[in-house]
Amino acid sequence: VLLVEDLTTDGGSKLSFVDAIRETGATCGHTAVIFYYGIFPETLPNLAAHGLALHHLCTWWDVLAEAREQAAFDAATLDEVEAFLTNPRLWQDTHRKT
């Protein structure tokens, strides 16, 4: 079985779906998504440890590169997006409203 979905963030839901597929007796070693966030370094190793390869068409890094190339937004906005992509948890902590 090839698990096909729209997107992947940290891969957690893929593991749940694949476990359910495998419980039926089917095999599933690949998942394909249109969009992979590409911001959590543990995602691919976690999927691989579960015997699952991720295939994707694009990431936020691709979107950011294209936005920079097209000058679609001002530099400050794109820098802020890059700061989020580089360390989303730190960015969230520093921007959390109390």
pLDDT score of 98 more than 90: no
For β-strands 53-59 and 2-8, DSSP reports them as: unpaired
pLDDT number for residue 96: 86
CA–CA distance, 83 with 94 (Å, rounded to integer)? 11
Fold of 2-95: Rossmann fold (3.40.50)
Q: Is 8's pLDDT higher than 90?
A: yes
Q: What is the pLDDT of residues 45-97, one digit of tens each?
A: 999 999 999 999 999 999 999 999 999 999 999 999 999 999 988 998 998 88
**Domain ranges across the chain:** 2-95
Q: 49: number of CA atoms within 13 Å, CB side?
A: 7
Contact between 91 and 60 under an 8 Å Cβ cutoff? The reply is no
Q: Do residues 70 and 35 make contact, with C-beta atoms less than 8 angstroms apart?
A: no
CB 36 within 8 A of CB 3: no
